Amino acid sequence: MSGALAGDPAARCMGRNVMARRNRIKRTFAIAPARRVTHPQSDGRARVRREPVPAAARAFVVASLVCLASVGGWAQQSDPQQKQQNNQPQKQQNNQQQMRGLDEQIQEVKSDVLRITAELSQLEEKLLYPSGTQVAVFVALAKDDTMRLDAVRLKIDGQHLNGAAPCYNPAHKHARPEESVEKLKDFWQAIYQEAIAVNPDAVIEICPCGTSQAFHNMPYMNQAVASDPESSWQVRHKGKTIKALMGPSAAYAGDHVELSDNADDFASTVGIGAIVSTKFTRGHDAKRGFLLTPDKETDWRKWIALYNDKRLAQGRYRGELYDIGFDKPEAHAIAKDGRCYYAFYADRWDGPIELRGLGEGRYGVIDIWSGRAIGQVSAKANRLAVAFEHFLLLEATPIEGT
């Protein structure tokens, strides 16, 4: 048809009308194999016959598009790389400046550390190694206070009392820094002697909080302490140990009763011949757990009255009679004024107990807390059947004529 359209005007018009009804494409060009034919301009619409595009042509077009896309992508990639290469010297310069700034900051911190260390060393010398050793103690009572000052007790308290740091203070004229450690016992001795010289009845107590006493301070105190026990067992165990080391009549304080089991175990202090103490508080500013309530005050008064009545702390502790690790129930014994006092401890006990260390004759036994009579014993018949919870405090008194 393409040949007829090119040579015959009439046929061209007829063909154009026929194709116009079937195709709505303006100003189109028909391409025949091996040559190109240009369709004349027309206001009508013509039908164009579309021939298949050869595979080689399609492949060429696709390859061209891929190449163009690759060139575009490479251009996009190469451009940041080029910029990065151009910015590299600037980055290196910035890094060098940052490093110099960091070095300066480090040097400033080092200078501050050295300065603070020097200041702390000077402060340490003033606090730990003072040139002067005089201490003044002032006691004041509030106006209209109903309390009466009965005695002043010197208590040296602190967790680090058993040791000393080497002393570098030239004012002390040590032969060597370690002399401060070696002479620590002389320090305790000086305090004790001075206090007794001022007041022969002074109570000197050294409390290395949470730790045990040391050999270099025990000779220079006249009252040891449980030093912050965490249980009633520790109160009793330390009491037995202190009296074994310092003597059966050594004064030993069971520390504040608030540190014992249930914060009210006076029995563990009274029963072993220790000195009772409490740190109760009153009023609106009372610390939690230390407030002396009316019910608690009733018990407190009863225990302190019992302590003052028996004064077992002035007796002789018979530590050789019972083994605290193997004898059950746990038992302690005290001899005072011809009588024998026994303290037994257990969560719950129902069975026989043995009263050791009795003299000749028979003894009447009472419970000193409740006042109840328990029975009679002798050195040959020293067992009693008892039942108790937590504690049992007994007094064995010789019966005349037996």
Question: Is 33 within the bounds of a domain?
Answer: yes
Burial grade of 268 (CB within 10 A; 0-12, 13-18, 19 or more)? buried
Residues 202, 251: contact at Cβ < 8 Å?
A: no
Q: What is this structure's pTM?
A: 0.64
Model pLDDT, residue 46: 45
Residues 220, 188: contact at Cβ < 8 Å?
A: yes
More confident: 181 or 29: 181
Give the C-alpha distances (Å, rounded to integers) separating 311 from 74, 236, 307: 103, 17, 5
d(CA 255, CA 146): 25
Question: Is 161 within the bounds of a domain?
Answer: yes
Q: List, as own/partner pairs, every contact residues 178-182 make where C-beta atoms lie below 8 angstroms and the sequence separation is at least 24, other chains included.
A: 180/129
Tens digit of pLDDT for each residue in 328-373? Answer: 999 999 999 999 999 999 999 999 999 999 999 999 999 999 999 9
Question: Is 124 within the bounds of a domain?
Answer: no
Structural domain for 350, as ranges: 330-402
More confident: 364 or 151: 364
In sequence order, what DSSP letters do the residues of 133-169 get, joined into one string?
Answer: ----------TT--------EEEEE-TTTT-------
Contacts of 248 (CB under 8 A, 6+ apart): 316, 317, 318, 319
Tens digit of pLDDT for each residue in 1-53? Answer: 444 444 444 444 444 444 444 444 444 444 444 444 444 454 444 454 555 55
Structure tokens at 370: 């409740």
Q: Please count the structural domains in the chain.
A: 3
Structure tokens at 53: 């595009």
Among 34, 52, 70, the domain-final residue is 52
d(CA 33, CA 172): 120
Please give the backbone phi and psi of residue 359, each rounded to the nearest 5 degrees, phi first: -90, -160
Q: Are both 186 and 238 inside the same structural domain?
A: yes
Q: Which of 29-38, 91-100, 268-277, 323-332 has the lowest mean pLDDT?
A: 29-38
Among 298, 329, 360, the domain-final residue is 329
Q: List, as own/partner pairs, every contact residues 352-355 make where C-beta atoms lie below 8 angstroms and the sequence separation is at least 24, other chains included.
A: 352/383, 352/384, 352/385, 352/386, 353/329, 353/383, 353/384, 353/386, 353/392, 354/382, 354/383, 355/382, 355/383, 355/384, 355/394, 355/396
Question: Is 79 within the bounds of a domain?
Answer: no
Q: Are both 189 and 325 inside the same structural domain?
A: yes
- The conformation of residue 178, written as its DSSP 8-state character, comes to T
Tens digit of pLDDT for each residue in 72-91? Answer: 554 555 555 555 566 677 77
Q: CATH no. for residue 372? A: 2.60.40.1180
pLDDT above 90 (res 71): no
The beta-strand segments (E) located in 201-276 are: 203-207, 224-225, 252-253
Expressed in percent and rounded to 5, the helix, strand and coil fractions of the chain are: 40, 20, 40
Q: Are both 197 and 243 inside the same structural domain?
A: yes
Return mean pLDDT, the chain: 80
Q: Are both 290 and 400 inside the same structural domain?
A: no
Give the C-alpha distances (Å, rounded to integers) separating 31 from 5, 51, 58, 59, 396: 13, 8, 16, 19, 138
Contacts of 58 (CB under 8 A, 6+ apart): none
Give the C-alpha distances (Å, rounded to integers) separating 28 from 47, 48, 313, 345: 8, 7, 129, 120
